[in-house]
Amino acid sequence: MISVNKLSLFLGGKELYKDVSFRITKVDKIGLSGKNGAGKSTMLKLLTGYHKPTEGTISIDKGLRLCYLPQELFSGSTLPIIEEVKTANAYIKSITDRLEEINVELETRQDYESDSFLHLLDELAELNDAFSLHGGNDVAEQSETILKGLGFSDEDLERPMNEFSGGWQMRVELAKLLVQAPDVLLLDEPTNHLDIESIEWLENYLKRYPGAVLLISHDKQFLDNITNRTLEINAGKIYDYNCNYSTYLVRREEERAMQLAAQKNQQREIEHKQKLIDKYRAKANKAAFAQSLIKQLDKMEIIELDETDASSLRFRFPDPVPSGKLVAEIIDAGKSFGDKTIFEKLNFNIAKGEKIALIGKNGVGKSTFIKMLVNETDYTGTIKLGHNVKIGYFAQDEAAKLDSEKTVYETIDDVATGEVRKKIREILGSFLFSGDEIDKKVKVLSGGEKTRLALCKLLLEPYNFLVLDEPTNHLDIISKEVLKNALQEYTGTLLLVSHDRDFLDGLSDRLYYIQNNNISIYFESVKERLEKIAKENAVNAKGGKTSTTKKKKKVLSENDSRNLNKTLDKLKKNITRVEKNIDKLESQIELKEEEVNTIDFSKEPNHPIFGELDVLRADLEKEMTTWETLEAEKDAIMQELTE
């Protein structure tokens, strides 16, 4: 469908790509990877024709339809959002407009026997067929389904586009792309403005999407669940991996280990030859030998390691002064904006050391509750902080609050006090601001750099209650992982809002879920809660209700019971067999991984061991899937026998 051939691009005085080539087919769901500034967004713009390559070509099949979602887009449209989406498909809209013209004309004409009137009837029939064939009859229903999946309510559908914030307008733009069902979707950070439930809906939609998808995302779980291929942009080159993001990371690390081993062996060879050259070049009878070695070194292609993504945080939060056992007490707290009630009579406590994930759909009041807690908005009722509680608050717009005219150094120097001032350069270095970078003005920093700087400010004091509202915005995957590790080691109390499921997984020990003007507290993971919400939504979608009456006990006949036990015995034997296969494969993989460390890849650069490892890992994954299926069947039969 799309072929990129020997493409090079010079942009802003920098060579962004050099002779890169790849193809996109109709079955591809591709994650575009690379460190900040590598050129991911630029690649999408090249495919849309917004940028032109300096050299090389981009070939796109005739008639292929591409749709592109940029990171930011603002519309001044006054149309209701349902109309915005329904009319997004230009082809369907052109048919609709022409059908309206024909119907008006048919009402006014009376030359029923004329050729032109008959031609008009033929055109009407053809257009109606085309309208039906291309899904015109389903556009209204599909538009509504997509908008609701992305978090809009029934009441929102008739509101004009310009009444919504930029983030919600981006959701409408995404809906407009999805309803067009193009052959290729190009998506640049599509989850940026979505809450967790909307992300899950989009994830499921894209998994089933019949066309190709090329997407940029810093959401690891989103990438893993959708993509079957990863393209990495690294130092102007493109590396193509036929796997999702997590598998790509493993394979990339294996390749780097192989590169490193080959580089070390080559360096030893160079040093050895250089010693021989130095030893024999001055001896007449060995001069020719020395010259031969020099020529060999000149012809040698030096192995260089690919760039690694160093754009990650390296820090830990300082140990705070202990607070009292009760960190915050919320008593009959409520909040309204005009006639709209956000919260009503909230009553609960936050205890010392709790790590809380605050989730809920966008617009239900996550940021509002946080602002109530840190006293940045008025409310009814009472919120009391406990003894010696010191809050460190990171707002959603924390990075935007930075003074754009100050330098990185000045930003920290202005708030640092005491002994900390002597360590400013060291602290900034831990956030990857070193050398000349500390003299950069804030206004020239990227979104990720501004977020890192804002987080750096938070570290200057040992807060014992961290309240973080979307701290991962604009951070890349590796930076998020390091921030997560730092928060896991943090010894104070944590209240965290994030729409990144992978980031939240394993970070919180309780869940605050906002719904129906209240906050429900769950002692379960985000994953478990989302699975329950999905089941509830599925029941509601079917118009069903969860039964509160007990099921009538099912009585099995003796014959049925005997057959089920036979099946159960067979399943148990199969499970034992599969478990033995799994143990065997894991042992073989372990031996192969040990063998990797003994191979001299400079002598055997095309050694088949990594291919062998891939086969073994694929076999292991297959056996694990079989084991899960058998276990599920076994559990179902055991449940039937015990009911």
Question: For 116-145, how does the pLDDT look when each residue is reduced to its tens digit (9 = 90+)?
Answer: 888 888 888 888 887 777 677 778 888 999
Residue 310 has pLDDT above 70, yes or no: no
Q: Are 13 and 72 in contact (CB under 8 A)?
A: no
Question: Is pLDDT of 383 > 90?
Answer: yes
pLDDT for residue 384 is more than 70: yes
Quick one: CA dihedral 153, 159, 163, 169, positive or negative?
positive
Q: What is residue 548's predicted lDDT score, i.e. its pLDDT?
A: 40
Residue with tokens 């809002």: 497
- DSSP, res 471: T
Name the band, by pLDDT with cuts 50, 70 and 90, for residue 643: low
pLDDT at res. 72: 76
Domain ranges of the chain: 252-299, 326-541, 558-642
Q: How many Å apart are CA 466 and CA 495, to the nearest integer?
A: 6
Q: At what angle do helices 447-458 and 477-489 cross, to 10 degrees?
A: 10
- What backbone torsions phi and psi does residue 510 show, to the nearest 5 degrees? -155, 160
H or E stretch at 64: none
Which pLDDT score, from 0 to 100, does residue 308 have? 56
- Position 313 pLDDT exceeds 60: no
Q: What pLDDT score was predicted for residue 305?
A: 63
| pLDDT band, very low/low/confident/very high, at 332 (cuts 50, 70, 90) | very high
% pLDDT > 70, the chain? 93
At residue 527, the pLDDT reads 83
Burial class (CB in 10 A: 0-12, 13-18, 19+), 272: exposed
pLDDT at 545: 47
pLDDT band at residue 642, thresholds of 50, 70 and 90? low
Please tell me whether residue 188 adopts helix, strand or coil conformation.
strand
Answer yes or no: is pLDDT of 589 > 70. Answer: yes
Query: Tokens 């994830």 belong to which residue?
Result: 203
Mean pLDDT of all residues in 484-505 = 91
Pull the structure tokens for residue 464: 């014992």
Type of residue found at 387: H
Residue with the larger pLDDT of the pair 358 and 446: 358
Sheet holding 326-337, edge to edge: 340-351, 326-337, 380-385
* pLDDT value of position 297: 83
pLDDT at 546: 42
Q: Are 24 and 184 in contact (CB under 8 A)?
A: yes
The whole model's pTM is what?
0.69
Mean pLDDT, the chain, integer:
84
Give tens-digit pLDDT for 218-259.
Answer: 899 999 999 999 999 988 889 999 999 999 988 888 887 887
Residue 558: pLDDT over 80 = no
What pairs with residue 341 in β-bridges? 336
Across the range 152-181, mean pLDDT stands at 89
pLDDT of residue 351: 92
Amino acid letter, 550 = K
Across the range 344-361, mean pLDDT stands at 92
Residue the block writes with tokens 């052109």: 94
Model confidence at 550: pLDDT above 50 = no
Give the residue-averaged pLDDT of 12-18: 82
Sheet holding 391-394, edge to edge: 391-394, 465-469, 493-497, 355-359, 510-515, 518-522
Q: What is the crossing angle of helices 609-642 and 558-596, to 10°?
A: 160
Task: Give the per-residue pLDDT at 549.
Answer: 40
| Model confidence at 177: pLDDT above 60 | yes
- For 423-455, letters b (16+ CB in 10 Å) and e give ebeebbebbbbeeebbeeebeebeebbbbbbbb
Q: Can you read off the two tokens belonging to residue 362?
A: 């966008």
Interval 91-114 mean pLDDT? 83
**Once rounded to an integer, what is the mean pLDDT over residues 78-93?**
85
CA 500 to CA 203: how far, in whole Å?
13
pLDDT at 358 over 70: yes
pLDDT band at 515 (very low <50, low <70, confident <90, very high): confident
Closest of 456, 476, 466, 492 to residue 324, by C-alpha: 492
**What's the confidence (pLDDT) of residue 542?**
61
pLDDT-derived band of residue 609, with 50, 70 and 90 as boundaries?
Answer: confident
Tokens describing residue 446: 């990227």
**CA distance linking residue 542 with residue 547, whole number of Å:** 14
Ranking 86-100, 141-155, 206-220, 235-249 by mean pLDDT, the lowest is 86-100
Q: Does residue 584 contact residue 576 with C-beta atoms inside 8 Å?
A: no
Contact in structure between 61 and 1 (CB atoms under 8 Å): yes
Class of domain 326-541: alpha beta
Based on its alpha-carbon atoms, the radius of gyration of the chain, rounded to whole angstroms, reads 31
- Model confidence at 584: pLDDT above 60: yes
Mean pLDDT in residue range 320-324: 89
Q: Which pLDDT score, from 0 to 100, does residue 547 have?
A: 41
| Residue 441 reports pLDDT greater than 80 | yes
Which of the pair, 286 or 44, is modelled with greater confidence? 44
Residue 570 has pLDDT above 50, yes or no: yes
- For residue 387, give every residue at least 6 positions away whose Cβ sits within 8 Å of its Cβ, in sequence order, or none: 323, 324, 326
Per-residue pLDDT tens for 264-286?
888 888 888 888 888 777 776 66
3-state secondary structure of 460: coil
Burial of 598 (0-12, 13-18, 19+ CB in 10 A): exposed
Q: Tell me which amino acid residue 533 is.
A: I
Q: According to the model, what pLDDT value does residue 435 have?
A: 81
- pLDDT of 505 higher than 60: yes
Q: Going along 409-526, which residue ranges are E strands? A: 465-469, 493-497, 510-515, 518-522
